[in-house]
Structure 1
Amino acid sequence: MPARVAAIGVSHWHSLYDSAYLRHLVALPDMRLVGIHDPDAAIAAKRAAALGDPPIFTDYRRMLVETRPDFVIALGRHSSMAEVALHLLDHGYPFLMEKPMGVSGDEVSRVAERAAAKHAFVAVPLIQRYHPFTARARALLAAGALGPVSHVYFRLNRPSSARYVGWDAGWMLDPKAAGGGCLRNLGPHGLDLFLFLTGDDATVTGAQLSASALGQPVEDYASVLLRSTRGILGTIEVGNTFPRAGTDAEWKVAGRDAMVQLRDGTIRLTTGESEEVTAGEPAEPPALTALRDALDCWHRGAPPPAGVQDCLRAVRLIDRAYELAARSRG
């Protein structure tokens, strides 16, 4: 019998676009979408029309009572995420929640503490962990092939934030609802990858923000400098200033003996003697892989592949980056 899944906060664009979790979900033969929620009934109806017309609700609490889901996918405004997560934990629902899970580390920390106390299943789809570059870099690091690591570089520059308005997620341009701009939204990808690859904790040593390109109330570009406990340096750049559909991206891990780099869909391993080039595009969307992996872990009774504690570590770094950026603006 298919698992019964309900979705909360489908005005979040990842319901249908980019990560498109619900499009992926309804294509899985062992999953059934039994209800979707959004405070805006018109948006909920629009989303439902693209997902096989599941029942729609404007009150997620009522949806949970009436549909009795086995599992929940929680999206929604960043400012409502922590409240929703605490409700799901208090009522015993296993769930997957999109990052950042709140608008501050304090909010996400409360969720992490409640989840730990209840031994609950709370997955966070940190999708860059599923990229072929990440697997390649981890294998090289484990084998010591890079030598002592010097630095990690991550750039993820996505199209204009105007796309959020076109996708019924105009709240992303509201600092209170979104908790910030591209740093709050895209920052977890690069920050988590730095922590995941180095295996270290990290300190933010510098940060700067800009809203000059798009002129919105939230930043459209951010750069963050990190230092790991072993002294590995990190540079994380995220933005919404790419001028067309697609991504301006580069990921790199550099050591004494070799450097591995992802750019333009190609993984390049450079050593003192040679250069090896391999395809770097994932076989399927990483969001689908992350969703399937989380659901499989839940079904098997295993811990989530990435959880609220992983998200919290990145969110704490984001909070500190905002603090340092504000201080530098003086």
Structure 2
Amino acid sequence: MTVSRPPLRCGIVGTGGIAHAHAHALTELGAELAAVAEIDPARAAAFTGRFPVPAVYGDAATMLEQERLDLAHICTPPGTHVPLAIASMRAGVPALVEKPTALSLAEMDELAEVEAETGVPVLTVFQHRYGPAAIRLRRLLASGALGRPLVATCETLWYRDDAYFDVPWRGRWEVEGGGPTMGHGIHQFDLLLSILGPWTEVTAFAGRLSRPTDTEDVSMALARFDNGALATVVNSVVSPRETSRLRFDFEHATVELEHLYGYQEGNWRFTPAPGHEDLAGLWDGGEGPDPESGHRLQIEAVLDAIAAGTEPGVSLAEARRTLEFAAATYASAFQGRPVAAGEITGPDPFNRSMDGGAVPWAPIKETIA
């Protein structure tokens, strides 16, 4: 529920497709879209033709210097996220960064150092955490009503054709950080991790099966969690019937979700275990609004937290745990061994880049524009 707050001044860096989701949310929430920064004048003009913006800048540094902002939305390609987030923190402006927050764990730790120095937070867009059903599931699990989590599956089975990777920064380790593990499935397994909690070990496979990329186009991981639960995580961009699926088997109920890019109540299914049929009433979402798990819900929560002076999510520490899961998936797949949580540190090559210098297939020989 939205708290009573004055309109907050927000700026957007980058006006590509995902920036439109941020602008729509800000408009609907009554926040002030005060400025945008965009290096491409034509793209900036197209954006401001849809969303009236008082000030347009050719670079983020100038926008951050000249505008008094309460929040900066970083909607640029992944390789630019860290320097832009650091610039925002040093300007005293909290940053809400599209996923992935950074291209490596080392970069995440660099962000954490600047956050500690400046006292200004960096937040990551993981909007599926904020759907009402996901919030309800975490609440029920914490209450003990569902019993222990035992088994889970998480599948992001999407389809991206060869032409999708014609965009220069897609499918390249050095500018996107990885394939569907980093850029597509990360939203689903972040939701999985937000429910199951800390993971302890990952064993994985990854392959470039079909697409013209340097990165993987499929990965599969088996994970063990602190609470003893076991989960499988599949990320694919070669699956013609697209779907996003999660299933949680608890002691007293099974909870399932199937959607594509955003869920509502009707996308969930709750099945009590025999003898626990009374739990069905706890799952009922009632007759209220049924919003989709899109950007608006998280941005609303962030704006409310800033206005109230409380800690907004998703914090760097939480986002790092999700990024570490991706790093462990790559490290396990490319080294052929299990990888434990907390293992990838210091000089480990997978701390500096998701490919770890160990990709078993040859890179695509193309020049990035």
TM-score, normalized by the shorter chain, greater than 0.5: yes
Relative to structure 1, the CA distance from residue 131 to residue 157 in structure 2 (aligned partners, 3 Å threshold; closer, same or farther) is farther
| Map 1:210-289 → 2, pairs under 5 A | 210-243=207-240, 247-263=242-258, 265-273=267-275, 282-289=290-297
Q: CA deviation at 1:182?
A: 1.2
Does the 8 Å CA contact 1:159/1:243 hold for their aligned counterparts?
A: yes
Residue of structure 2 equivalent to 1:44: 44
Residue of structure 2 equivalent to 1:21: 22
Relative to structure 1, the CA distance from residue 267 to residue 233 in structure 2 (aligned partners, 3 Å threshold; closer, same or farther) is same
SS in 1 for 2:256: strand
Cα separation, 2, equivalents of 1:55 and 1:307? 29
Aligned with residue 311 of structure 1, among 291, 295, 319: 319
Flag structure 2 segments of 5+ consecutive residues without an equivalent: 1-5, 260-266, 337-358, 361-369
Cα separation, 2, equivalents of 1:327 and 1:204? 14
Does the 8 Å CA contact 2:35/2:54 hold for their aligned counterparts?
A: yes
| Map 1:81-96 → 2, pairs under 5 A | 81-96=81-96
Residue of structure 2 equivalent to 1:171: 169
| Aligned residue pairs, count | 320
2:192 alignment partner AA: F
Does the 8 Å CA contact 1:223/1:238 hold for their aligned counterparts?
A: yes
Please give the TM-score of this superposition, normalised by the length of structure 2.
0.77
Residue of structure 2 equivalent to 1:146: 146
Q: CA deviation at 1:74?
A: 1.3
Q: CA deviation at 1:25?
A: 1.3
Q: CA deviation at 1:102?
A: 1.0
Cα separation, 2, equivalents of 1:164 and 1:279? 38
Give % identity.
Answer: 24
Cα separation, 2, equivalents of 1:161 and 1:73? 29
SS in 2 for 1:63: helix
Please give the TM-score of this superposition, normalised by the length of structure 1.
0.85
Residue of structure 2 equivalent to 1:100: 100
Aligned with residue 9 of structure 2, among 4, 26, 30: 4
Does the 8 Å CA contact 1:5/1:72 hold for their aligned counterparts?
A: yes
Residue of structure 1 equivalent to 2:114: 114
Q: Are residues 1:295 and 2:321 paired?
A: no
2:174 alignment partner AA: K
Relative to structure 1, the CA distance from residue 28 to residue 161 in structure 2 (aligned partners, 3 Å threshold; closer, same or farther) is farther
Aligned with residue 205 of structure 2, among 208, 211, 223: 208
Residue of structure 2 equivalent to 1:68: 68
SS in 2 for 1:243: strand
Aligned with residue 197 of structure 1, among 184, 195, 202: 195
Does the 8 Å CA contact 1:268/1:278 hold for their aligned counterparts?
A: no
Provide Cα deviations, 1:10-64, integer angstroms capped at 9, x if missing partner.
Answer: 33x3112xxx1122213332x2222212333332322222222553323111122
Does the 8 Å CA contact 1:158/1:241 hold for their aligned counterparts?
A: yes
Provide Cα deviations, 1:160-197, integer angstroms capped at 9, x if missing partner.
Answer: 2668679xx65233332111111112343233323321
Does the 8 Å CA contact 1:122/1:304 hold for their aligned counterparts?
A: no
Q: CA deviation at 1:289?
A: 0.6
CA RMSD of aligned residues (A): 2.8
Relative to structure 1, the CA distance from residue 253 to residue 96 in structure 2 (aligned partners, 3 Å threshold; closer, same or farther) is same
Relative to structure 1, the CA distance from residue 239 to residue 46 in structure 2 (aligned partners, 3 Å threshold; closer, same or farther) is farther
Relative to structure 1, the CA distance from residue 163 to residue 124 in structure 2 (aligned partners, 3 Å threshold; closer, same or farther) is farther
Q: Which has the larger radius of gyration?
A: 2
1:22 alignment partner AA: A
Q: Are residues 1:186 and 2:184 paired?
A: yes
